[in-house]
A and B are shown apart, each in its own frame.
Chain A
Amino acid sequence: MAKVLLVEPDVLLGQTYSAALKQADHLVTWCQTAQQAIQTIDSKSPDIVILELQLAMHNGIEFLYEFRTYNDWQQVPVIVLSHVLPTLKAMSPVLWDHLHIAAYHYKPLTKLSELTRSVDRVLSNPPYVSQLA
């Protein structure tokens, strides 16, 4: 069982991804904004973060920069699950490496089963091995 921090702005998708991850035997904390996520991290000490980049107010990239500034959280793997296409320039491989993104999933094409498999794969492998799903 891993402690998962899910950052997902939409209520229905947040509920759905949480339910699927719980079914896969993970403990899920779900936040809808970057600010909520930053406030939650200390108390929840997640083993892995699943992050949508397209958030209201502060976006996911801002969250990642903030997240990675804390020594305690530099080793925590992050899986991006986003509406933003991984091919966009904003998500260049340089940025992936810089922010230590362990896997990137384009949300519309990622099934729940693929997401839970990706979580297991990232947790069982050393972090920062970038892979495009």
Chain B
Amino acid sequence: MNSDVLRRRGQNHQVGTNERLLQALAEQIKLPLLQIARRAELARLSSDTSLVESIELTADSALRLIDNYLLSTKLARVQNSLQLEPVSIAAVLNETAHELSKLAAQYECELELHLSGRYMPIMAHRAGLEAALTSLGYVFIEAQSIRSHKHRPVIKLAAHRSKYGIVAGMFADLEGLSRDMYQRGRGLYGHTPQPLTQLVSTSGVGVFVADSLLKTMSTRLRLAHHQKLSGLAATFTPTNQLSLVQ
């Protein structure tokens, strides 16, 4: 098989992935638009101006998710020439926690940052990594908000060392999150409105946007564990490279 055929196959596969991701994104974006529309209607009916802040936050999160999707398609296009750089995982997790904190509060979840010890820089694309973790966070916040009425559910944004490198991702006490469920979801997203049915009632597109972003950094989202929690995380190669760490 000549290289042209292989290249075209690769391009076709990428187009297929992008279409599926776009389909899942379209399904997902209906939810924040609906939240905005109904909250605006309620604000009008009840003259409750406190709803305006929540509407703004919903709109901001939806816009951020669209931006993350666009970044994933952009990075996928330039993947062969993508320059990875030494990135401080602690700084990225801090930024992500800051980014997600208001949404977590809105969904009545506790977001905790868990960094045990100091980590060497990892090779990654900083903006892409932040976008991946934020997108993943949206899904975990939604999944956790469904599961607990009595206790305020906790989501951990965490990193730890493994024999393969530094593992970073989102973790929670999520019944139903399994390797099988995630693999099935990866096969189904874009084809069904609810590929992660054991986890969330939406398309859970944040998981697939995150995976797509991480793929451009030569890593993938996988089922992982942190302390007694399960979650989705990626493994990164630490680097000794001496340079200004972003």
Contacts and interface: CB of A to CB of B under 8 A. Distances in A.
Interface centre among B31, B34, B38, B197 (most CB of A within 10 A): B38
B221 interface: no
A24 B201 CA distance: 27
Nearest to A107: B34
A104 interface: no
A57 interface: yes
B45 interface: yes
Interface stretch (B81-89, B142-150, B161-169, B223-231): B142-150
A19 interface: yes
Contact of A57 (B30, B39, B107, B176): B176
A127 interface: no
Interface residues of A, number: 26
A112 B201 contact: no
B246 interface: no
B41 A111 contact: yes
B212 interface: no
A16 B146 contact: no
B45 A112 contact: yes
B42 interface: yes
Contacts, number: 72
B58 interface: yes
Interface stretch (A5-13, A43-51, A63-71): A5-13
Contact of A16 (B30, B39, B198): B39
Interface in A108-123: 108, 111-113
Nearest to B27: A83
A20 B35 contact: no
Contacts of A52: 201
A17 B42 CA distance: 9
A87 interface: no
A108 B42 contact: no
A124 interface: no
Given A12-B58, A108-B30, A57 B197 contact: yes
30 contacts: A9-B146, A9-B200, A9-B201, A10-B35, A10-B201, A11-B106, A11-B107, A11-B108, A12-B35, A12-B58, A13-B34, A13-B35, A13-B38, A16-B39, A17-B38, A19-B42, A20-B42, A20-B45, A23-B45, A32-B145, A33-B146, A52-B201, A56-B198, A56-B199, A83-B30, A107-B34, A108-B30, A108-B34, A112-B41, A113-B41
Listed from nearest, the 10 A-B pairs whose CB atoms lie closest are A9-B201, A12-B35, A56-B201, A16-B38, A11-B145, A32-B146, A11-B107, A112-B41, A54-B201, A55-B201
Interface of A: 9-13, 16-17, 19-20, 23, 32-33, 36, 52, 54-57, 59, 83-84, 107-108, 111-113
